[in-house]
Amino acid sequence: MQKVIKSGTGWRIGWKPDAPEFKGLVGTDDWAVELTEVELNDFCRLLNQLADTMKHLATELMDEEKIACEAESDLLWMEVEGYPHSYSLRFILNTGRCIEGQWDADAVPGLLQATGILKVF
């Protein structure tokens, strides 16, 4: 199977199933980091979990009210911050490489959509 890179304005995500260790990639136009398959799976799972949380909170917040939500696994910590319909994303990789990254609110919808179809080929 070939390497797959999905990208849009301010984001990119990749999957290379035959890579020996680092099968995943996340980043922006300015930076990228390779992830193991387990790290990428956690990244996608936590991002979707946070997006669902923001959707559910939309009915409980006033239009001008911002919020921050966190999710964490043994491998990484993630946070979304902003409005339920427009929020930024940050993550910290808690494995030996200790990496931190961030996406602007404009980039998150495309990144979120790509996580759902990245490995479906």
- Tokens 């797959």 -> residue: 4
Q: Which helix (H) or strand (E) holds 117?
A: helix 108-117
Per-residue pLDDT, averaged over 28-55, amounts to 95
| Buried-state track 37-52, b at ≥16 Cβ within 10 A, e below 16 | bebbbbbbebbeebbe
Write down the pLDDT at residue 121: 41
The pTM assigned to this predicted structure is 0.92
Per cent of the chain over pLDDT 70 is 97
Of residues 48 and 98, more confidence is placed in 48
> Considering the domain 4-117, what is its CATH architecture?
Roll (2.30)
pLDDT of 86: 92
Q: Where are the domains of the chain?
A: 4-117
**Average pLDDT value for the chain:** 92
Do residues 68 and 57 lie in contact, with contact meaning Cβ atoms separated by under 8 Å?
A: no
- pLDDT at res. 120: 52
Burial of 114: CB neighbours in 10 Å, binned 0-12, 13-18, 19+: buried
Q: At what angle do helices 37-57 and 108-117 cross, to 10 degrees?
A: 120
Q: For the chain, what percent of residues have pLDDT higher than 90?
A: 77
